[in-house]
Amino acid sequence: MFSQRVLIPSRTRSLASSACTSALTAGWKVAGRAPRALFHSSRLLQATTVKVPQMAESLTEGTLKTWLKQPGEAVAADEEIATIETDKIDVPVNAPAAGKLVEHLANEEDTVTVGQDLFVIEEGAEGEAAPAKDDQPESKAEPEKPASDAAPQPQDQAAQKPTPSPSSPSDAASKPASPPSKEERAAAPVKKAQPASESKGPAPTTSSRGETRVKMSRMRLRIAERLKESQNAAASLTTFNEIDMSSLMEMRSKYKDAVLKEHDVKLGFMSAFAKASTLALKEIPAANASIEGDEIVYRDYVDLSVAVATPKGLVTPVVRNAESLGFVDIEKEIAALGKKARDGKLTLEDMSGGTFTISNGGVFGSLFGTPIINLPQAAVLGMHAIKDKPVVVNGQIVVRPVMVIALTYDHRLLDGREAVTFLVRVKEYIEDPRKMLLA
């Protein structure tokens, strides 16, 4: 901080000093109180520019999707101000301190990079409260017109109309017309009645032919890129099998209420298929492996990717070390990850590092399907809807609930024998869940 001295002429200084002294003296006399200083102190407000935060090592940019606060509004410390959409997750940007939002430095749908200036906040300032979403601007009611300004009634209109003279055209039109004579009727041209189809033109179409163009989100673009990359890179092949779900459905029906009461989680079919898959992966380790360069990486753990449908697309959060978890623990993990996915709160750590994927299209009614491998994984298990079908049991045709399961695998890593063996093991475990306790 530098100080600067300003030279003022002596006459000016004396006049200013005299004026100030007179003002002070007059002020004290009027107030009738002890002299007080004419200085005041104010809180120093600090404007802070907030930048786009670091998202992850592999993410350097994103799309500014939503501003949750507008300039002039009050913000609390750590309150979410904006949301940045990336290829994988939504990144919230929070206020560093309480204050007032001063300015947006980027617009919605702009591409922003890490470290870029995003918004300005004035710490400690008081802003306006955010308007409620359902608040609508009040429409100004027009003042009611007095009775004299209202539209005249029919009888008034009739009274206001001038009475036409007998020679006026209106008087002639109001008189009933005399019937035409015989000669006039004979001379009048005869009009032929046209068919209804000819008299009416083509009926106008009522169907809409509108089009709507919506920009693809970053997540949708990334999903499309990865799926196409999987088709181009992996030697994909799919094999199928059918599972009699009677035993598993009986077990679930018997214990689901007790599990819900004791553990506050619903016992579904996903936990059984997850456990059966981890046991089958022990026997077929190639299904839990991946290719890195010219090497195959085998793992003695299973990080299970579970496909979850969200409004923005399909995501695959990971259940870590699924091979060490029981039915209830797996259900708890899946329920927690599913809630985070639907709320848009998944982190990169939640979705990275999966070794095997399970996708349950049956919840949407799918009967058959060939899931796509989630690279760099080697295989993905697809579950489908349960339908009653006639099957042969001990030489008798009976109706059983049947699910078709599919395994899409990378033929570069797995041979057909290994893939079929994997499905057979899953089938055996699901059709007799007690076997999973002995494995």
Q: Tens-of-pLDDT digits for all 439 residues of the chain? A: 444 444 444 444 444 444 444 444 444 444 444 444 444 444 456 788 999 988 776 778 888 888 999 999 999 999 999 988 887 788 889 999 899 999 999 999 888 998 899 999 988 877 677 665 555 444 444 444 444 444 444 444 444 444 444 444 444 444 445 555 555 555 555 555 555 555 556 666 678 889 999 888 888 888 889 899 999 999 999 999 999 999 999 999 999 999 999 999 999 999 999 999 999 999 999 999 999 999 999 999 999 999 988 877 788 999 999 999 999 999 999 999 988 888 888 888 898 889 999 999 998 999 999 999 999 999 999 999 999 999 999 999 999 999 999 999 999 999 999 999 999 999 999 999 999 988 7
Give the span between the Cα atoms of 24 and 38, in whole angstroms.
9
Amino acid identity of residue 94, one-letter, is: N
Q: pLDDT value at position 203?
A: 65
Share in percent of the chain as helix, strand, coil (round to 5): 35, 25, 45
Beta bridge partners of 243: 403
Half-sphere exposure of 115 toward its Cβ, with a 13 Å CA cutoff? 2
Relative orientation angle of helices 270-283 and 416-431, to the nearest 10 degrees: 140
Tell me how many degrees the CA angle 196-201-206 measures, rounded to the nearest 5.
Answer: 115
Q: pLDDT value at position 188?
A: 54
**Buried residues in 328-359 as b, exposed as e (16+ CB within 10 A):** ebbbbbbeebbebbeeeebebebbeebbbbbb
Q: Whose CA is closest to 269, among 386, 399, 369?
A: 386
Q: How buried is 15 (Cβ within 10 angstroms: 0-12 exposed, 13-18 middle, 19+ buried)?
A: exposed
Query: Are 302 and 281 within 8 A, CB to CB?
Result: yes
Helix (H) or strand (E) holding 51, with range, is strand 46-51
Q: pLDDT value at position 312?
A: 76
Strands 356-360 and 386-393, by their bridges, are: unpaired
Query: Are 361 and 314 within 8 A, CB to CB?
Result: no
Give the span between the Cα atoms of 156 and 161, in whole angstroms.
9
Amino acid identity of residue 417, one-letter, is: R
Strands (E), 72-187: 74-75, 80-85, 90-94, 99-104, 111-113, 117-123
Q: pLDDT value at position 290?
A: 96
CA 313 to chain CA mean position, Å: 9
Q: Whose CA is closest to 82, among 104, 98, 61?
A: 104
Catalytic residue among 117, 156, 257, 415: 415
User: In which residue are the tokens 């940007």 written?
Assistant: 93
Q: pLDDT value at position 410?
A: 97
Other Cβ atoms less than 10 A from the Cβ of 304: the count is: 30
Helix (H) or strand (E) holding 404, with range, is strand 396-410
Q: pLDDT value at position 27?
A: 44
What backbone phi and psi angles, to 5 degrees, belong to 17? -65, -40
**Buried residues in 32-45 as b, exposed as e (16+ CB within 10 A):** eeeeeeeeeeeeee
Active site residue 411: yes
pTM: 0.65
User: In which residue are the tokens 């089938």 written?
Assistant: 427
Close Cβ partners of 80 (under 8 Å, ≥ 6 residues apart): 68, 92, 93, 94
Catalytic residue among 78, 343, 411, 432: 411
